[in-house]
Amino acid sequence: MKFDIPNYVKKIIVALTNAGFEAYVVGGAVRDLLLGKEPKDFDIATNARPDEIKLVAQQNGFGIVRELGQNFGVIMLTIGKNTVEVAAFRNETYGADAHRPAEVWYCDTVEEDLGRRDFTINAMALDYGGGIIDFFSGREDLQKKILKTVGNADKRFEEDALRMFRACRFIGQLGFSYDIKIKSAIKRNLTKVEGLSLERVRTELNKLVCSQYAEKGMELLVDSGLAGESCRYRADKTEQLIPILPELMKLVGVKQNSRYHQYDGWNHTLAALANSDRSLEVGWAIILHDVAKGLEGIRGVNADGEPTDFGHDVLGAKMAKNILTRLHFSTVVIQRVTWLVKNHMRFGTNIAAKDETTLRWIRQTAREGMFRVTKEMAEAFKQLVALCIADLSATTAHEQEVIAAQMYGKKLIIMAYEMPVHTTDLNISGKELGEIVPKQTDLAEIMQLLLLRVQDGELTNEQSILRKAVQAWHERSRHKKR
């Protein structure tokens, strides 16, 4: 089997080999090559020590990024615009810290180096000739589409608690099943999560949320109890424990109206996530869109004795904001996800409504000040459509209902793109206005009036129409002055 390894990677391997050392492509790149995917980056492992790696690099004209992970035997080399991590074979032991090794030492064989890694599918090496070195049956596990740890799962998670989140992420990215020992080992090592930093946990969560099979990884995250744990956040020389996603645990088993839902609250969320567009905002909005269901003050019963959750969108939006703020997401992401959760029920109620109703909704949104320009608002509506179609697809809705929702969604997006939000969205500029009206005129006021008239549908957003409107206004002003 031939593998497409970039020339800059081959040059480093050849240089190390010619200097008398072993050198291999290792880790995720080997996994991706075997899966027929293009690796995002390439890592090299060698029995050369850091000083020897640097010497070989200097002799061959490779660039060296100084002071990068030298305590761990890692040297970053550059060839042109490309960078490659070259690491000495090493092993490690862990102490109280759940992520950073307490002691690292160099070893002499690639087998020992691979043996310290997390999962068998990440514990393979590739030599220059294309030969696969696989001491832990990683290739077989790839073919069987199963995730297994290298050796004892408890030991791997005790060494590095982040590996428990990485397990969820890899399942989400690859769609693999997992060794039953993984879930039980996670449950036994949940206390280790407190030693992890929020930044690292959030990074893994985001990768999971955007993955192709996110629902599978999220299922393990909740089922194993990881979602209910806390990790640490340090700021201003203080440290606090931050709950990860305990709210999701409360959705498990929450009953829903069987006329509209075939799943409980959590399994509905997972089914919707399976239909995500894989973007960060939509993924988080799907995960949190029903987070308020079943809660006191929201859960009710209708006249037929069926469960209801009126207001879960409004409370859910507040909860989503609190959750994402707690996890230190950016303001941009927090605002967008909150808006999506808050509006996800409006989509369904407007599908059968007249265009005027949808226009009022879009006009109201344009004037709320949430969005700066038309493009930003229209992109938000596009994400809302993605959220709501995923949500609807996870209910008892018939195919024709989903098709109708998709058609409405397309119309909604088009209408949103046609609604100006800011005066800069108008097809006339301040300079053009200045050519029509006297210099002492308040151009900003005229632009604002034009914006309101276009939003109200009194004018179309066409340059010629807007110019005529301004000219007519100017003429009326002149007559009044006479």
Supply the DSSP string of 324-378, one letter for each residue: HHHTT--HHHHHHHHHHHHHHHHHHHHTTS-HHHHHHHHHHHHHTTS-SSHHHHH
Summary mean pLDDT of the chain: 94
- CA end-to-end distance (rounded Å), the chain: 89
Residue 480 is predicted with a pLDDT of: 63
Asked if pLDDT for residue 70 goes beyond 90, the answer is: no
Residue 2 is predicted with a pLDDT of: 79
Report residue 477's pLDDT band, with 50, 70 and 90 as the boundaries: confident
pLDDT single digits (tens) 394-435:
999 999 999 999 999 999 999 999 999 999 999 999 888 888
Could you tell me which of 49, 48, 50 has the C-alpha nearest to residue 64? 50
Whether 323 contacts 197, CB under 8 Å? no
Is 69 or 117 the better-scoring residue by pLDDT?
A: 117
The Cα 124–Cα 175 span in angstroms is: 20
Phi, psi of 294 (to 5 degrees): 85, -5
Is 71 or 121 the better-scoring residue by pLDDT?
A: 121
How many Å is the Cα radius of gyration of the chain? 29
Asked if pLDDT for residue 66 goes beyond 80, the answer is: no
Asked if pLDDT for residue 385 goes beyond 90, the answer is: yes
pTM: 0.93
Strand ranges of the sheet holding 132-133, from the earlier edge strand across to the other edge = 63-65, 74-79, 82-88, 43-46, 23-26, 125-126, 132-133
The Cα 273–Cα 295 span in angstroms is: 22
Asked if pLDDT for residue 124 goes beyond 60, the answer is: yes
Whether 56 contacts 15, CB under 8 Å? yes
Residue 431 is predicted with a pLDDT of: 86
Asked if pLDDT for residue 98 goes beyond 60, the answer is: no
Whether 343 contacts 281, CB under 8 Å? no
Residue by residue, DSSP assigns 102-168 as EEEEE-S-HHHHHHTSSBGGGS-EE-TTSPEE-SS-HHHHHHHTEE-BSS-HHHHHHH-THHHHHHH
Residue 1 is predicted with a pLDDT of: 67
Least confident range of 96-105, 308-317, 325-334: 96-105
